[in-house]
Amino acid sequence: MKRGVAIAIALTLAAGVAEAKPLVMWHAYRAKERTALERTVQAWNDGGRGAHPPIKLLAVPYDAFADKISAAIPRGHGPDLFIFAHDRVGDWAESKIVEPIEFFMTEAHADRFFRKALGALAYGDSLYGLPLAFKSTALFYNKKLVPQPPRTTEALWRIGRANTDASRGRFGLVYDNKRLYFHAAWLHGFGGTIFDDKGRLRVGSAAARSALAFARKLGKHGGIVPPESSANLTTTLFNSGRAAMAISGPWMLGELSPKIDVGIVPLPVVSKSGKHAAPFLGVEGIMMSARSRNKAAAFVAMRFLASAKMAVLRARLARQPVAAKAAWQDSRVASDPLLRAFRKQLDHSVATPGTPDMRVVWSPYDTALSKVVAAGLAPEKAVAEAEAEI
């Protein structure tokens, strides 16, 4: 991408606006992630901004965030910048809510990020944000119960059976097995997909049926996953030592019991296909409002907050798997074994489709999973019903 003369002029003008109104930025971070973000914004306000406007942070509850963005920005209200997952990029691009930023970018700047993370924030021929962090599931294991983590699904089953005693409330594996988000690793590992390269729906493929049958094997009576599962139960069973392994994401790092000697590794290879189980990849990006009145300065702030230096700070304080490649060369980040596992999982992950079509897939697919895993419906019938509903 080439930088034009116009952007140089715009940045120069923005640099002279010392008394401009603050750039307002919305976020939904909590706990350590919020603290880390506040530190990076403080670094901008205390000197990193130069003559650019300061940033004013506003925390918005996650459950209301997307609706507030969709309602406020078209009316000329809302933030200049905001942080959110990439899966709404398609909707917001179509609605002219987010500003495309390729005009501001150079190839050298794009190369500072993991390509998969940056690509998740693209829609059509445009780029709509800079990636801050990536998130996916991986395999957590209790080292006391599982000295050597499984590398294949056959080994996962074998180790899981050895650690399962349902009568005592002990299970080899726990994860939210009735939700597509957590099931996606098996779907992709068996060679399936939601949409093909041309955007056509492909939830009824033979690979999808095989993945559903595998999920049923794990969760049925005599399997290794408890009959009822949820995100909260995953944490509870694992922290109490009643689950030998768990499938979860980096959000679980702050919830782990210090009494458990925890290891994290990428999800295993699917024995039947020889492919790596590949979970959905979520990318948290910093995006610009299409109605921002100071877009040049807003991009400079985006670039600062997404920089490797700020990424190191977020990785250290909040243990975020950050998207800036150079941050992983910092010994304090590279030496964290739990972060390192999510970095490895990045190589075997599939970005959640950020298209409007994907929004109508979740509920029917979750229903299909529940019917197969909990009610014993044949995978062929379940995916046919899901495909018809979608």
Residues 182-229 pLDDT 10s: 999 999 999 999 999 888 999 999 999 999 999 999 998 889 999 988
In this prediction, residue 373 carries a pLDDT of 94
The rounded distance, in Å, linking the Cα atoms of 327 and 366 is 36
The rounded distance, in Å, linking the Cα atoms of 275 and 254 is 30
- Nearest Cα neighbor of 88 from 109, 67, 107 is 67
Does 124 or 6 have the greater pLDDT score? 124
CB 318 within 8 A of CB 33: yes
CB 282 within 8 A of CB 86: yes
In the chain, pLDDT over 70 holds for what percent of residues? Answer: 95
HSE-CB of 90 using CA atoms within 13 angstroms: 12
Q: What does the angle CA 301 – CA 32 – CA 235 come to, to the nearest 5 degrees? A: 135
Task: Report the 10 Å Cβ neighbour count for 51.
Answer: 12
Q: How confident is the model at residue 19 (pLDDT cuts 50, 70, 90)?
A: low
The per-residue DSSP string of 42-70 comes to HHIIIIITTTSPPEEEEE--HHHHHHHHH
pLDDT in tens, 317-358: 999 999 999 999 999 999 999 999 999 999 999 999 999 999
Per DSSP (E only), the strands in 60-207 are: 81-85, 122-123, 126-127, 130-135, 138-142, 171-174
Q: How confident is the model at residue 8 (pLDDT cuts 50, 70, 90)?
A: very low
Any bridge partners for residue 324, and if so which?
A: 113
CB 153 within 8 A of CB 277: yes
The rounded distance, in Å, linking the Cα atoms of 342 and 92 is 28
Listed in sequence order, the residues at least 6 apart from 179 whose beta carbon sits closer than 8 Å to its beta carbon are 366, 369
- Nearest Cα neighbor of 324 from 152, 56, 112 is 112
pLDDT above 90 (res 16): no
The rounded distance, in Å, linking the Cα atoms of 223 and 240 is 20
- Beta strands 81-85; 280-288: pairing state: antiparallel
Determine whether 202 is exposed, middle or buried from the number of CB atoms within 10 Å of its CB (0-12, 13-18, 19+). Answer: middle
In the chain, pLDDT over 90 holds for what percent of residues? Answer: 90
CB 211 within 8 A of CB 372: no
- Nearest Cα neighbor of 133 from 334, 339, 292 is 339
The predicted model gives 51-67 an average pLDDT of 96
CB 198 within 8 A of CB 204: no
Backbone angles phi, psi at 83, to 5 degrees: -115, 125
Q: What does the angle CA 366 – CA 141 – CA 281 come to, to the nearest 5 degrees? A: 45
The predicted model gives 299-307 an average pLDDT of 98
In this prediction, residue 146 carries a pLDDT of 98
**Strand, coil or helix: 258:** coil
